[in-house]
Amino acid sequence: MKLSIIIPVYNEIETIAEILARVRGVPLQIAIWGGEAHMETLTLDREIVIVDDGSTDGTRAYLDTLRDAPDLRIIFHEVNQGKGAAVLTGLQHASGDIMLIQDADLEYDPRDYPALLQPILERRTEVVYGSRFRGGPAKAMFFWHMLGNRFLTFVTNILYNTILTDMETCYKVFTREVAEQLRLQAPGWGFDPEITVQILLRGYRIYEVPISYTGREFTEGKKISWQDGLTVLWTLLKYRFTGF
């Protein structure tokens, strides 16, 4: 069984080498319950799909030196299109049985992969989200970012009859079967609500697990703003009343 780790990248020259080392360094021997209630270890193959979304800070040149690495697929967007577009390109080039989305900014820790993968490997669900709000260790976030995240997740729960705690999380993990049903169109920050809504409207229930989180400052390259929250809200409302 193969895991495709999709990494959308835009101007992350300070972190791209480190996140690649961390992703490669995580063992993918996952302990699961097997038949007759005994534990067994399942080893996954690993594929890393990197989509550079028009970087201008040297990230592109660095990635170009890695083209021959056997565990990497590197795709370049000629111009910046947004995270959603980069993830969509990554999904189109991924060959794994399970897809996992990983940001390149070191806020999310690949050591959480076993916990994220276990529910899918044990066939308890087809979709897992890693939640920053289910008790995992976390660096203190900006209050208004936290409030905005909670509000948008609350709107998601009301509109789509679910009980998520972190719709905006980076860590979204799902099977190839789910990936093949997605019809993603939002190129930017509308990606998170769009993929969540499409998953829910297709009848899948999302399994959440706690993850660690080390939020970064704007001086360290954090890119989200309040305007992006309006995009998320519009996307949630649009799909509720128009479908897809």
Domain that holds residue 192: 2-242
Q: What number of CA atoms fall less than 13 Å from residue 234's CA on the CB side?
A: 10
The answer to whether 117 and 34 are in contact (CB under 8 A) is no
| pLDDT (0 to 100) of residue 239 | 79
Length of the chain: 244
Q: Of 119, 100, 136, which is closest to residue 23 (Cα–Cα)?
A: 100
| pLDDT (0 to 100) of residue 238 | 84
3-state DSSP call for residue 191? Answer: helix
| pLDDT (0 to 100) of residue 224 | 57
Amino acid at the residue 58? G
Low-confidence ranges of the chain (pLDDT < 50): 218-222
Q: Of 24, 83, 112, which is closest to residue 16 (Cα–Cα)?
A: 24
The answer to whether 109 and 212 are in contact (CB under 8 A) is yes
Q: How far apart are CA 108 and CA 99, in angstroms?
A: 16
Domain tally, the chain? 1
Q: How far apart are CA 20 and CA 48, in angstroms?
A: 9
Instruction: Check which CATH number belongs to the domain holding 74 and give it.
Output: 3.90.550.10
Q: How far apart are CA 232 and CA 212, in angstroms?
A: 23
The answer to whether 50 and 102 are in contact (CB under 8 A) is no
User: Within 10 A of 154 (CB to CB), how many other CB atoms are there?
Assistant: 13
End-to-end, the C-alpha distance of the chain in Å comes to: 31
pTM of model > 0.75: yes
Mean pLDDT rounded to a whole number for the chain: 91
Q: How far apart are CA 189 and CA 82, in angstroms?
A: 7
Q: How far apart are CA 239 and CA 199, in angstroms?
A: 12
| pLDDT (0 to 100) of residue 178 | 98
